[in-house]
Amino acid sequence: MRVDRRKFLAGAAAGAATVTGVPHLWIRDMDQVWAQDAKEIKVGVLYSLTGTTAIIEKSMSQVTQLAIDQLNKKGGVLGRKVVPVIEDPASDPKTFSEKANKLVVGDKVPTVFGSYTSASRKAVLPVFEKRNNLYWYPTYYEGFECSKNVIYTGAVPNQQQENFVPWIIKNLGKKKFFIVGSNYIYPREMAKVCKILVEKNGGQWIADEYLELGHSEWGAMVKKIKDSGCDVVYSNVVGDSVVAFYREYKNQGLDMRKLPICATVTSEIEVQAMGPEFAVDSYTSFPYFQSVNNAANHKFVEDYKSFAGKDAVTHHALECAYFQVFLWAQAVEKAGKIEPEAIREGAKGQEFDAPEGHVKIEAENLHTWLTPRIGQVQSDGQFKIVDEYKAPIRPLPYSAYGETNDNLFCTAKGLDASKLKKT
């Protein structure tokens, strides 16, 4: 390509304009270039807007923005407006890590709200621990983590399974468990906890099977379930596979009333996608269902529907993504400054009247007190709450290893590894 003088001058002018207009390229500390805006607080919002988990994560991103809007309408936090910096990690853990880096190091946000899958949380954890920043993780997960740079607002196994497994054995009278899940860390760890609880309560687990995330051909697996002689299917299947699974279940003639699926991940979203007729009479254990009957939840559902459309449904991870923003705001107000460590200290013990009821951040392990519930799918796609604790219970991320209320493994001093015995 011949470069004549005209082209050269044009290119040089464009280059000079770019470099002066985007000082990020040649100045390392942005504070020296643009003054920190004293009227704003930036927060990172890190949920996938594209890719397979966008199915759930996009709504979580939107509800975070809804909560931030509501905060700003009431005057913001410390008198400043909260500005979300939204990134799309595209359902890929490696991209999660890159975007987390960009938010913490590049945008210098004091807090990031994000993640749905455990894989993505594990991918961003090193970023937050290295930079001593703060990550608010709203999704129910398998436990076994004790990071002082993460505030976990979703359920841990003792809040999802410790009520579920005994209830199945006592109330449904089912003793032979066929455990099925998606092939990654969360379902495998949940299955570990389930097996411990099943054996402790006098039941028996017959099988522990896995299929890839996103796998949509369930013919062979459902046939295995039929041939196994189990009387209840314990499902830790995640994502769009759930829809294909439940449909195949009914298509092969299995009856939820005789052989129910008891799930830990099937929420209002999956039920709506598969069509309620395929899920009726199955059970799920979550601290929150859209049908929870209190004033805060009615308002939340109403606000969310006017925001996302009247066919939108709310679910547990969504509700945690929503109330964690308010807990964060309270923590910042208490801390008085916008630094991750101060916010973390301010968050310990924070309480809030969330749509699911009263919640509290446990000061020792930074997880959240939640109220366990069990729901049964009805023909309108909503859950009827068939079991509910009277008050929120303490989160124990190491409950499968023997952690109890009197013997905490994860405290403010960190994880006491000597208490972890081989199971």
Sites of contact with another protein (CB under 8 A): 49-52, 54-55, 58-59, 183, 209-212, 214-217, 219-221, 223-224, 226, 240-241, 243-244, 247-248, 250-253, 269-270, 272-275, 308-309, 311
Q: How many CB atoms lie within 10 A of CB 48?
A: 28
Nearest distance in Å: CB 196, another protein = 24
Nearest distance in Å: CB 214, another protein = 8
Nearest distance in Å: CB 254, another protein = 9
Between residues 313 and 335, which has the closer beta carbon with respect to another protein? 313
Nearest distance in Å: CB 220, another protein = 3
Three-class HEC string of the chain: CCCCHHHHHHHHHHHHHHHHHCHHHCCCCHHHCCCCCCCEEEEEEECCCCCCCHHHHHHHHHHHHHHHHHHHHCCCECCEEEEEEEECCCCCHHHHHHHHHHHHHHCCCCCEEECCCHHHHHHHHHHHHHCCCCEEECCCCCCCCCCCCEEECCCCHHHHCCCHHHHHHHHHCCCEEEEEEECCHHHHHHHHHHHHHHHHCCCEEEEEEEECCCCCCCHHHHHHHHHHCCCEEEEECCCCHHHHHHHHHHHCCCCCCCCCEEECCCCHHHHHHHCHHHCCCCEEEECCCCCCCCHHHHHHHHHHHHHHCCCCCCCHHHHHHHHHHHHHHHHHHHHCCCCHHHHHHHHCCCEEEECCEEEEECCCCCCEEECCEEEEECCCCCEEEEEECCCCECCCCCHHHCCECCECCEECCEECHHHCCCC
Return d(Cα 244, Cα 257) in angstroms, integer. 19
Nearest distance in Å: CB 307, another protein = 10
Between residues 270 and 362, which has the closer beta carbon with respect to another protein? 270
Six token digits for residue 143: 């436990």
Tokens 């446990």 correspond to what residue?
362
Between residues 152 and 245, which has the closer beta carbon with respect to another protein? 245
Q: Are 201 and 287 in contact (CB under 8 A)?
A: no
Between residues 132 and 251, which has the closer beta carbon with respect to another protein? 251
Nearest distance in Å: CB 51, another protein = 7
Between residues 61 and 163, which has the closer beta carbon with respect to another protein? 61
Between residues 51 and 93, which has the closer beta carbon with respect to another protein? 51
Between residues 99 and 247, which has the closer beta carbon with respect to another protein? 247
Between residues 216 and 407, which has the closer beta carbon with respect to another protein? 216
Written as one letter, the residue type at 239 is: G
Nearest distance in Å: CB 82, another protein = 21
Between residues 248 and 403, which has the closer beta carbon with respect to another protein? 248
Nearest distance in Å: CB 177, another protein = 18
Q: How many CB atoms lie within 10 A of CB 259?
A: 16
Return d(Cα 273, Cα 265) in angstroms, integer. 14
Nearest distance in Å: CB 233, another protein = 16
Nearest distance in Å: CB 222, another protein = 9
Between residues 273 and 342, which has the closer beta carbon with respect to another protein? 273
Between residues 125 and 312, which has the closer beta carbon with respect to another protein? 312
Nearest distance in Å: CB 10, another protein = 29
Beta strand 357-361 with 351-354 is antiparallel
